[in-house]
Structure 1
Amino acid sequence: MKKLNSTLAYYEKHATAYAARDFLGTFGEYRELFIARVKEEFSKKRTPENLKSENPIPPEHQVPPENQVLAKPKILELGSGSGRDAQYFLTHGFDVTLVDGSAELAKIAKERTGQDVLVMDFADLDFEAEFSGEFEGIWAAASLLHVPSDQLPGVLQSVERGLQRNGVFVASFKESDHDWVDDLGRYFCAMTESHLAELVVNSGLELVSIEKGEGQGSDGRPTVWLWVVARKN
């Protein structure tokens, strides 16, 4: 993702103040939904029947149970910000990869979570090779809404490539029929329910649901949020 300069500049300049705000209660319902869906799909892959179908390890090469490291669902957070959501996911037993465009927020997130943060545009992630089919879930709360409208289809196609089969994608956008820049200098892409549904389907993902709800943005202004849940077939 190539954020507009004014958007990234805002988060770089106000990273400390932004991170200090208590957003813990925000998006809680959808965090829990994401966690539940990812764990459900992950557990299906760990059933005895599915494990038997994998290449068996000869007994002499097997690791004793007391030395085994329990597998964790791997998820990607696009737009990790201060690390609030990543910290929550870590406490629920996930292996989390964090990505954000702001170097200043990445520093705060690393201090908060102990995890390294990839500082880059979303479009620069190597979904063709390094991250192809890597993740059980991809979480993008209030982050992809900063992607320019003409670049969003490509980013969503990358999301599809990054997910494992039956992987879960959850993201949120602000409803609007036009692109705009808010009073803080942040760019937002145009998004309606029908447009979001079209983008998801065209990316190759299966649309599970789109829910609309009233709330507010980090600027305190009333906002109509669009939450999308999708999966990879």
Structure 2
Amino acid sequence: MHILDAGCGSGRDAKAFLRAGYQVTALDASREICKEAEKLIKQEVICISFEELQFQQEFDGIWACASLLHVSYEEISGVLKRLWTALKKDGILYASFKYGRGMRVDKGRMFYDYEETAIKNLMVDNCFLLEDIFVTQDVCKSREKEQWVNVLAKKRESESF
């Protein structure tokens, strides 16, 4: 199984997937973060933005943990279409977003928050079959009051872009 760690950050999750025996392609838009992740996972990390993705049916799964939440509302559908195109038939997308409504800046970073209904509509509108949506609490003690909306969605094959 081949997983795309889309917005891999430090490489923590890519490392866990590699240890579990998966083939992993990791990417992030920050050159500095890519260098750090490469040290951790001991393989190349691709430095590109989501808007630059060009993969064609290469991945069994895409892991977008706390990364798509930085994509603007105007650009998110285009990015989801690129992720859809990158998935193989019956491929699965996991994504997590901060729970809420609207856009906000926190410590100089832009966040685009979602609630369950908005995520459901976003996935369906972009040719994904919704497998599950669930809300979780942040595991960091300093952010334990924050919530995340998580989504598992499957590539719907009857559609194309």
Q: TM-score, normalised by structure 1?
A: 0.64
Give the secondary structure class of the aligned counterpart of 2:79: helix
Q: Deviations for 1:129-160, whole angstroms, at most 9, x for unmatched residues?
A: xx211100000000000111110111111111
Q: Give the unaligned 5+ runs of structure 2.
A: 157-161
1:190 matched to 2:113? The reply is yes
- 2:73 maps to 149
Say if 1:217 and 1:176 are closer, same or farther in 2 by CA, change over 3 A.
Answer: farther
- Residue 31 of structure 2 is aligned with which of 96, 103, 112? 103
Q: Moved runs in structure 1, 4+ residues, more than 4 A?
A: 216-219
Which position in structure 2 is the counterpart of 1:173? 97
Matching residue within 132, 139, 143 for 1:220: 143
Counterpart of 1:88 in structure 2 is: 16
Which sections of structure 1, spanning at least 5 residues, go unmatched? Answer: 1-72
Work out the percentage of aligned pairs sharing the same amino acid.
38
Deviations 1:53-78 (A, max 9, x none): xxxxxxxxxxxxxxxxxxxx111011
| Paired residue secondary structure (2:102) | coil
User: Which residue identity is paired with 1:157?
Assistant: K
Asked if 1:207 corresponds to 2:130, the answer is: yes
Alignment of 1:16-35 (within 5 A): none
* Paired AA for residue 122 in structure 2: L
Q: Which residue of 1 aligns with 2:58?
A: 134
Equivalenced residue count is 156
Point out the structure with the larger strand share. Answer: 2
Mark the CA change 1:146 to 1:219 in structure 2 (over 3 Å): closer, same or farther.
farther
CA contact (8 A) 1:216 1:224 kept: no
Higher helix share: 1
Larger Rg: 1
Contact 1:101 1:120 in 2 (8 A): yes
Per the TM alignment, residue 221 of structure 1 is displaced from its structure 2 partner at its CA by 6.2
Contact 2:6 2:67 in 1 (8 A): yes
Please state how far the C-alpha of 1:219 moved relative to its aligned partner. Answer: 6.6
2:159 paired residue number: none
SS of equivalent to 2:24? strand
Q: d(CA) in 2 for partners of 1:179 and 1:164?
A: 32
Q: TM-score, normalised by structure 2?
A: 0.92
2:48 aligned with 1:120? yes
Secondary structure in 2 aligned to 1:149?
coil
Indicate conservation of the 8 Å contact 2:137/2:144, yes or no.
Answer: no
User: Counterpart amino acid of 1:145?
Assistant: L
